[in-house]
Chains A and B, each alone.
Chain A
Amino acid sequence: MLKKLSYNSVILSIGLVVAIALPFFVGRSLQAVAIITVMYALMATAWNFAGGYGSQVSFAQMIAFAIGAYMVAWSSLNSTVNVWVFVLLAMVLSAVIGFAIGSLLSQRRIEQFYFVVVTLALTEVMRGLVATRYDLGGLAGLQVPLEGYGLELLQFRNKVGFYWILLVALLITLAVIGLVLRRTMFGKSLLLVRDDRDYASSMGINVPRVNGLTLAFSFTVTAFAGAVYTQYLRFASPQVSLTLDINIVILLSVMVGGVATIAGPIYGAVIFIAGQEILSRTIGSGTNLNRFSEIAFAVLVLIVVGNFPHGLAGLQRRRRGLTQLDLARVDSDSGEQR
């Protein structure tokens, strides 16, 4: 039987075609916008895995981002080993740290609002440590020297190269998340842990392990985004690579797009970045423009969160009644396996 297509899959398919065609038709400035948009989409997708499908509303994402950023920046200054080695190293290190944070906090039952405050504090600790390290450039940050171009050096003469890399990473991440959620026991236990932790652990699920692995995956993807973004900017600093502002914007854009949906983080990133761009095109750029657009975005967040709890990607849900997630919730209530 042919399954009825949801709006989201139609929009996402069209979006993918547009995303692939886009770099061939637009100018340099719009290409820059596209690169930032895809980076935000990638980070928002990673956040959504831990904070939407999982129960970890994380404000520690920038720790992983900074590990990626500083790893490639430091290596380009101090090492002749290929940059990709350091990208991989950053991803592994972030995974370990993500697992440690996720499982430790879960084991100590630091959840919900406490989790938010502790991860905020952890990011500030990391920021203070980086800002006082002179071999990492302190507050001034590190400049990445240009050694040449090519995929193997993760530098591109035509900046569109970064766009392709981030887009591929985004597609892989989406595929992995989709597969994990639909096809694995881990995906099912993830939702169960989020909805009812005590029930999950009584089913024999190792809750700290699930939470640790979830945050580890989220961190790994974020570290990659941080590494690529630093290569793109050729700059890393506490102000750029370790600012909580990015984490907050990601949280808000996931809420607008639709928390715990596949499409939501992408919608959110597109709306936030594209919104800023459209405003700057129509009103003309000025010093206060970003501020006005952030206010407009915050108002949009308030409207969407107040009226559509599943965000824009979840608009269809109201009509269709029960959804995948609601069903998972019903399962966890009645204790039946699906």
Chain B
Amino acid sequence: MTPLAQQALASGLLQGLIYSFIALGLLLTFGVLKVANFAHGYFVAGGMYVVYMVGPSSFGAYLLSLLVAFAVGLAAGLIVERVVLEKTLIAGGEHMGMRTLVPTFAVALIIQNLLLILVSSPVISLKNPYPFSAVRIGSAVLEPSRLVGTVLSLIFGLAVMVLLYRSRFGLLVRACVQSNRGAVICGVNIRKSYRFVFAGASGLAAVAGGLILPFTTAPATVGFEITLKAFLVVIIGGMASVRGLIIAGIFFGLVEAFITAYVSGALALAVLFGFFVVIVLIRPSGLSKAMN
């Protein structure tokens, strides 16, 4: 393999795992609340801005700022769920994704403008907060932030999975994914599940934002791009399984990295989204089923 291909493979893989982590919150929201949360990427952007505003200079401070981002995301998610979504959710009915489309877009608009008011510089970035510099694997050079960011997001993702599959709370959440009505009948406090899942997903989104900030120069409008990418990952992953999500995330990361390396960085997004449209046209149920 040529060095360029190795580089693309390594960075695409890492980027893909981070995409999966970002999309995990979206998948949970969609699975439990049946809400297509178009504000998800804006929560990620919010996390970026929180970490940027804290401005950590050491590794310890950076971890602390991630915690702050998580807390802010959690609180914001709780408020949004309670104030904006809960009435519609409790009323229930079909096409929840469409009925919450407009409210989540409105929330996205609010978050984006708040961020623009809070931070006046058009682009934000953070210098390497980690105590070591670039790592060489084969002939691929990896930034520490990308590497550790991926490892941390894997750990957090794993923690979410453990919570989902090995705890009572997770059992209740999975009951809601299977059938909200059935869960209510069995005595699950569905409002509580809604609230926890939405707030948790928002908190995780904010942490993801903090993780990607050190290797991203983000314009304030980055939230939209992240939302769209996360949605594509969730849809291609089949909208149901975490395994599909991870495969789709890695697929996305690799496609993006190879197009950027071999064709053109400016075209990468267009080709990526074009890929997505073609895949959805051929197989609307997502890739994971195609693999089985």
Contacts and interface: CB of A to CB of B under 8 A. Distances in A.
Interface of A: 57, 104-105, 108-110, 112-114, 116-118, 120-122, 124-129, 131-132, 244, 248, 251-252, 255, 287-288, 291-292, 294-295, 297-299, 301-302, 305-306
Contacts of A131: 266
B271 interface: yes
Contacts of A291: 113-114, 116-117
A252 B105 contact: yes
Interface string B117-137: 100100000000000000000
A127 B231 CA distance: 19
A287 B117 CA distance: 9
A298 B95 contact: no
Interface stretch (B188-196, B205-213, B274-282): B274-282
A83 B36 CA distance: 42
Given A122-B277, A125-B277, A244-B224, A305 B107 contact: no
Given A117-B235, A121-B228, A251-B102, 18 more contacts: A108-B284, A112-B97, A114-B284, A116-B36, A120-B228, A121-B274, A121-B276, A248-B109, A251-B105, A252-B102, A252-B109, A288-B116, A291-B117, A292-B113, A297-B109, A298-B106, A301-B109, A302-B103
Contacts of B270: 124-129, 132
Contacts of B178: none
Interface string B18-43: 00000000000000000010000000
Contacts of A124: 228, 269-270, 273
Nearest to B80: A302
Given A132-B267, A244-B224, A302-B103, A117 B98 contact: no
B172 interface: no
Q: In this complex, which of A114, A120, A248, A291 has the most chain B Cβ atoms within 10 angstroms of its Cβ?
A: A291
B199 to A, nearest CB: 18
A6 to B, nearest CB: 25
A109 B103 CA distance: 25
Nearest to A255: B102
9 contacts: A114-B280, A118-B280, A128-B273, A244-B224, A287-B120, A291-B116, A298-B106, A298-B110, A302-B107
Contacts of B114: 291, 295
Contacts of A114: 235, 280, 284
B274 A298 contact: no
B107 A298 contact: yes
A121 B232 contact: yes
Given A121-B276, A128-B273, A298 B109 contact: yes
Contacts of A248: 105, 109
B106 A252 contact: yes
Given A57-B101, A117-B235, A306 B87 contact: yes
A292 B98 contact: no
Contacts of B232: 117, 121
A306 B99 CA distance: 10
Given A127-B270, A132-B264, A302 B106 contact: yes
B280 to A, nearest CB: 6
A110 B285 CA distance: 10
Contacts of B142: none
